Structure 1
Amino acid sequence: MISFSFVPKNGEEESFLEIYKELEKDGITGVETIIGDHLPIESYGKYPIKGVHLLYYPTWLEFWKEEKEKIQEDFFNEEGVMNYYRSLEKEILLETFKKQFESAKLVKAKYLVFHVSHVRPKDIFTFDFEYTSKEVLDETLKIVNEVFKGEGPLLLFENLPWPGLTLKNYELAKYFFERVEYKNKGFLLDLSHIVCTEKNIKNFQDTDRYIVNKIRDLKELNRFIYGVHVNGIEFKRYLERDFSKEIEKWKKGDRGQKFKVELEHMKNLDPHRVYGGDLKSIFNELPNLKYINFELNFSSFENLKEVVKEQLNYVK
């Protein structure tokens, strides 16, 4: 099944269906979406939803562990915390994901995507983490095993470049997967996330080889990779830059200004471009691949149609 990522807004149904009908002829069979409060849950039934990407908090570990001094550093005050989490109590994380789980069932999603990762805002420039992947995995397990119970869609855990599930370490991936109590589970491999912090990646040939090798390093776990997010990075040696100016600008800003600096940095690091490599060589390493989703950046409906069609050329 081949889908693309799309988050609907009010009044967009007609425009969406116009391009979707055209893309269906090329082999597109649905969309992966995020369910938010901006749209009534019943409105999602108008869209061909196959997957639901659950809400994601890039920064959550300190909030979950109630480390108030670090929370203050990242969010300044209670208003900043409320704007980000919608509560001052850590139980909001459990409540939010439980609601997302139930909403995904209502729209009859076939699969869910859950980010297993954590990064503090200041660390995205320095990569100087004060927490380990194991710590992130252990705390994530507490949430996952409390939220996802009983029957439900296939739950896919996505790799990110930050501490947590990177899919670059077989032992840690196995450790996490074996401790998830929800039975209907698997992994989702995000192509740009696994390479976007690798400084030696120069082109798509390097990217293809690197991803294939990392899949093989996962040994028997590769049979649980049921989904792939297809997206590519730009090969402009971005990580070789000196980020001292960005860091200084970030330090001086208020929470809103800091967010703008962070967002610009992340767009450069992970721009969600068309993946122009040998996708077949990657897919051939995944014996049980079910869901291929194009997670691409676009500026308009017409541009969405263009990038999806372009990406399809590398799949067929």
Structure 2
Amino acid sequence: MVELINFANYYTNRDMIDNSSAGLKSLLAQLDVDGIEALFCDPWDAAVFPASSIHGVHLNFWPTWLDFWHGNQQALERQFGSKENILAYFGGTEPEHMLACYRRDISQAKAAAAKYIVFHVSHNELDEIYTWRFRADSLAVVDATIEMVNSIVGDIPPDMTILFENLWWPGLTLLEPRLVDRLLSRIRHPKVGIMLDTGHLMNTNPELQDERQGVEYILSVLGKLGTLSNSIQGIHLHQSLSGAYVKQSRCQTAPPVDLAASMAHIMQIDQHRPFSDSAAKQILELVEPEYLVHEFIVASREELVVNTNLQRKALR
């Protein structure tokens, strides 16, 4: 099992390693992990993030994208208010722009000799994160993902694995085995699988009270997948117990659009906290993943070290 941390090349993360490969090497040694799953917010700089440290690449994504992909301008203007806002969000006006962004990330992943790439399979509109009343269902999101990925699959090397990540919004939630099978069986690429995100899966059950209940729930969901669980090749390991907040914050009418407030709201739901209960070992024992990614949202190197050490201690 290859043990990794998630690490973006955003300036705040570069500051944690003094914007140097030596700083990155020092951090990985301090954490006793094998490397990183990279997210390229900026162009990849091999002088700071050498290919030897990169095992996987998490592709950039748009949480709201379905109507853009289908060219539904009326729905887009309802959501974003103007063509200028649509352009600002997507950086273009046609679906081909989205594909070009994915191809750019894939090209950088190829150059870094990444073994795998990660696709989010999810969609939500901004008001839906408050109301939890979704206009698109998981089948629609999965089918659009199949169409989109197959349109760029020729750019992905045959020996690079595509791992699809579960979320709690409509899409790949892992709660419907038939949709897991539909997604994996219809991608025209020889190497596909699942990146199990444990915190995202916990977010699908607002009744969870503690980590042990969370682990039991995850194991139950994986058991219902049957042989499809064999497709899980990696784990984004973290925990999220946000059910009380979800129940309290759910409303009939969404507040006025405020991107900063919306991001804060999402992070209250998707907490990315470390496991401290040794029950988390049961997930690894069941899945036996090829890649284990300690995935946290942190504000400092010190916080990253504390979280990673706490979770690794639980796994021991």
Q: TM-score, normalised by structure 2?
A: 0.90
Residue 42 of structure 2 is aligned with which of 37, 54, 61? 37
1:49-72 Cα deviation digits (max 9, x unpaired): 111000111000011111112111
Deviates more, 1:62-71 or 1:26-35: 26-35
Which ranges in structure 2 are unaligned for 5 or more consecutive residues? Answer: none
Paired positions, count: 308
Alpha-carbon distance in structure 1 between the residues aligned to 2:68 and 2:126: 13
Q: 1:47 to 1:8 in 2, by over 3 A?
A: farther
Determine if contact 1:98/1:148 at 8 Å carries over to the other structure.
no
1:11-26 counterparts in 2 under 5 A?
12=15, 13-14=17-18, 17-18=22-23, 20-21=25-26, 23-24=28-29
2:123 counterpart of 1:118: yes
1:261 Cα offset (Å) = 2.1
2:246 counterpart of 1:239: yes
Alpha-carbon distance in structure 2 between the residues aligned to 1:97 and 1:26: 30
2:182 counterpart of 1:175: yes
Which ranges in structure 1 are unaligned for 5 or more consecutive residues? Answer: none
1:142-183 Cα deviation digits (max 9, x unpaired): 111111225242110000001111111111111111101111
Determine if contact 1:31/1:50 at 8 Å carries over to the other structure.
yes
Q: 1:304 to 1:242 in 2, by over 3 A?
A: closer
CA RMSD of aligned residues (A): 2.1
1:77-96 Cα deviation digits (max 9, x unpaired): 22211221110111111111
Alpha-carbon distance in structure 1 between the residues aligned to 2:249 and 2:27: 44
2:172 counterpart of 1:165: yes
Aligned position for 2:282? 281
1:252-285 Cα deviation digits (max 9, x unpaired): x4xxxx2122111101100111122312111122
1:296 Cα offset (Å) = 0.5
1:127 Cα offset (Å) = 1.3
Return the letter of the residue paired with 1:78: K
1:1-316 counterparts in 2 under 5 A?
1-9=2-10, 12=15, 13-14=17-18, 17-18=22-23, 20-21=25-26, 23-24=28-29, 27-37=32-42, 40=45, 43-45=48-50, 48-149=53-154, 150-234=157-241, 237-244=244-251, 247=253, 250-251=255-256, 253=257, 258-277=258-277, 278-287=279-288, 289-316=289-316
Return the letter of the residue paired with 2:138: S
Q: Which runs of 4+ in 1 moved over 6 A?
A: none
Determine if contact 1:19/1:301 at 8 Å carries over to the other structure.
no
Return the letter of the residue paired with 1:98: R
Determine if contact 1:33/1:49 at 8 Å carries over to the other structure.
yes
Alpha-carbon distance in structure 2 between the residues aligned to 1:166 and 1:199: 14
Percent same amino acid at aligned positions?
26
Alpha-carbon distance in structure 1 between the residues aligned to 2:24 and 2:309: 11
1:239 Cα offset (Å) = 1.6
Deviates more, 1:19-28 or 1:156-165: 19-28
Q: 1:218 to 1:307 in 2, by over 3 A?
A: same
Q: 1:48 to 1:132 in 2, by over 3 A?
A: same
Return the letter of the residue paired with 2:237: V
Alpha-carbon distance in structure 2 between the residues aligned to 1:146 and 1:170: 24
Determine if contact 2:132/2:250 at 8 Å carries over to the other structure.
no
Determine if contact 1:101/1:148 at 8 Å carries over to the other structure.
no
1:244 Cα offset (Å) = 4.2
Determine if contact 1:82/1:88 at 8 Å carries over to the other structure.
yes
